[in-house]
Amino acid sequence: MSSPSSSQAAPIESFAQLVADLDGGSKPPADWRIGTEHEKFGFRLSDLRPPTYEGPQGIRAVLEALAQFGWTPVIEGGHLIALKKDGASVTLEPAGQLELSGAPLENLHQTCRETAGHLGELKIVSDRLGVGFFGMGFQPKWRRDEMPWMPKGRYKIMREYMPKVGGLGLDMMTRTCTVQVNLDYASEADMVKKFRVSLALQPIATALFADSPFYEGQPNGFLSYRSHIWTDTDADRTGMLDFVFAEGFGFERYVDYILDVPMYFVYRDGKYIDASGLSFRDFMAGRLSVLPGEKPTLADWTDHLTTAFPEVRLKRYLEMRGADGGPWSRLCALPAFWVGLLYDDTALDAAWDLVRDFSMEERNALRDGVPRHALKLPFRQSNVQELAREALKIAAHGLQRRARMNCNGVDERIYLESLIEIIEAGQTAAERKLELFHGAWQGSVDPLFREFAY
């Protein structure tokens, strides 16, 4: 973590500063950017086991090898934990999953090239080390106690706290991977509309990207088990945030929500101080027991914002968090889906018309049902497949109107093709893998590592 600026280092004096911080993310449409993040599982080619941190095939060795491509190492407590370059970073997740946090880019062609470049670099170094990487929502083979832990301070605190507040939090940390996209807003009103649309449609993204049907080598009864895990991780910091749809919602209400999310830590002098379960409101008042008399800075607030895990998360941008990780094509499809819906005014209006009359009960029924049933979940007189079909049409028209062309004169709709194939087939990636499991794979998930590696 870089040193905070002087403004970030000054103590927060008021609630209004926190509201202003979120409002400070507002920017004109010409300055809107696309930030794509995706995680992937590593495995040793020899035995399919996840790499440990140390060792000749370890995650540290992977990061060290990636550094040859111009990445700058980030060290914490003597451990290499991340790489940075040109506004992007490669970071280390709790059990050694690697995440590319992409730079904020202007169009989907750029973000897809960034993804391809990263996966190409990773392929070069992983082949040399005898490891591989693949994307899906949940680790298909190994038990939780067989997953390694990475040497990052915040993960130690979370590891100890998670079992106190939910049954599946450690699985979330060690055995899940996602792809998400971070998108901008023009104003508070624009943020509210985008938040409501994306939250109502987040279960549709979960269904389209469902790709986690296995648990320790066997079918688990879900199509997106990753999504199910969030329902028993920590109720204080997850969920559909029904208050977002209440009259008067805005930055102030979201700040109130975040202030009531229990803390994990405070970062001071290169170390994480355990503040798990404590109150940020108490911190604001100088009454935090682990730092008596000290008040938080905006850097502390920024850290705290990252410890809430709702289906859509607001920071100084909006994060779409509902999708399972997957293959290269769907890493580009996720930002295409949301950019098409949210970055064109006509599409945003059409998407709002699609969801505006959903009741709170319907939104939560979608959230609760898609992890198991995905596109086949009944909804009103039809099902989620038809709802997803309509959302994809809106997104495609939005991308067409954006008219961002690649060097071949093709617009951004090209990145929706993998999702259109899923809709037309009526079969998710999870269902395709289950079909292979019961057929060509002869009841084993082992072939998955080879056939779906990047």
Burial of 204 (0-12, 13-18, 19+ CB in 10 A): buried
Q: How confident is the model over 115-119, as a mean pLDDT?
A: 97
Reported confidence tier of residue 5, pLDDT bands at 50, 70, 90: very low
- For the record, the structure tokens of 340 come out as 């098409």
Beta bridge partners of 309: 238
Supply the mean pLDDT for the chain. Answer: 97
Q: How many CB atoms lie within 10 A of CB 126?
A: 25
Residue 3 pLDDT:
33
pLDDT digits (tens, 9 = 90+) for 308-327: 999 999 999 999 999 999 99
Q: What is the pLDDT of residues 372-382, one digit of tens each?
A: 999 999 999 99
- 3-state SS of the chain is CCCCCHHHHCECCCHHHHHHHHHCCCCCHHHCCEEEEEEEEEEECCCCCCCCCCCCCCHHHHHHHHHHHCCEEEEECCEEEEEEECCEEEEECCCCCEEEECCCECCHHHHHHHHHHHHHHHHHHHHHHCEEEECCCECCCCCHHHCCCCCCHHHHHHHHHHHHHCCCHHHHHHHECEEEEEECCCCHHHHHHHHHHHHHHHHHHHHHCCCECEECCEECCCCEHHHHHHHHCCCCCEECCHHHHCCCCCHHHHHHHHHCCCCCEEEECCEEEECCCCCHHHHHCCCCCCCCCCCCEHHHHHHHHCCCEECEEECCCEEEEEEECCCHHHHHHHHHHHHHHHCCHHHHHHHHHHHCCCCHHHHHHHHHHHHHHHHHCEECCEEHHHHHHHHHHHHHHHHHHHCCCCCCCCCHHHHHHHHHHHHHHCCCHHHHHHHHHHCCCCCCCHHHHHHCEC
Q: What is the mean pLDDT of residues 141-160?
A: 97
Q: Which of 191, 208, 196, 158 minimizes the C-alpha distance to 333?
A: 208
Band (pLDDT 50/70/90 cuts) for residue 9 is: confident
Question: For the segment 23-77, what is each residue's pLDDT rounded down to a tens digit?
Answer: 999 999 999 999 999 999 999 999 999 999 999 999 999 999 999 999 999 999 9
pLDDT > 70 in the chain, percent:
98
Cβ neighbours of residue 117 closer than 8 Å, sequence gap 6 or more:
none
> What is the rounded distance in angstroms from the CA atom of residue 108 to the CA atom of residue 123?
22
Query: What residues contact 421, with CB distance under 8 A and at least 6 apart?
Result: none
Q: Spell out the domains of the chain, with CATH numbers in brackets.
A: 1-28+262-307 (no CATH), 32-261+308-451 (3.30.590.20)
pLDDT above 90 covers a percentage of the chain that reads: 98
Question: Mean pLDDT over residues 8-25, rounded?
Answer: 95
Q: What is the pTM of this model?
A: 0.96
Distance CA 177, CA 43 (A): 14
Instruction: Say yes or no to pLDDT of 383 above 50.
Output: yes
What is the mean pLDDT of the segment spanning 216-232? 98
What is the distance between the terminal CA atoms of the chain, rounded to a whole angstrom?
29
Q: Please state, in angstroms and rounded to a whole number, the distance separating the CA atoms of residues 443 and 48.
A: 17
Name, in order, each residue with C-beta under 8 angstroms of 120's C-beta and a sequence gap of 6 or more: none
Please name which of 175, 173, 144, 134 lies closest in space to residue 446, comparing C-alpha atoms: 134
Is pLDDT above 80 for 199? yes
pLDDT tens by residue, 280-317: 999 999 999 999 999 999 999 999 999 999 999 999 99
For the residues 220-226, what does the mean pLDDT come to? 98
Average of pLDDT values for 162-191? Answer: 98
| Residue of 283, 46, 302, 39 lying closest to 176 (CA atoms) | 39
The per-residue pLDDT for 151 is: 96
Asked whether the predicted pLDDT for residue 6 surpasses 50, the reply is no
| pLDDT value at residue 42 | 98
Q: pLDDT tens for residues 397-447?
A: 999 999 999 999 999 999 999 999 999 999 999 999 999 999 999 999 999
What is each CA distance from 69 to 65, 125, 130, 354, in whole angstroms?
A: 8, 10, 19, 45
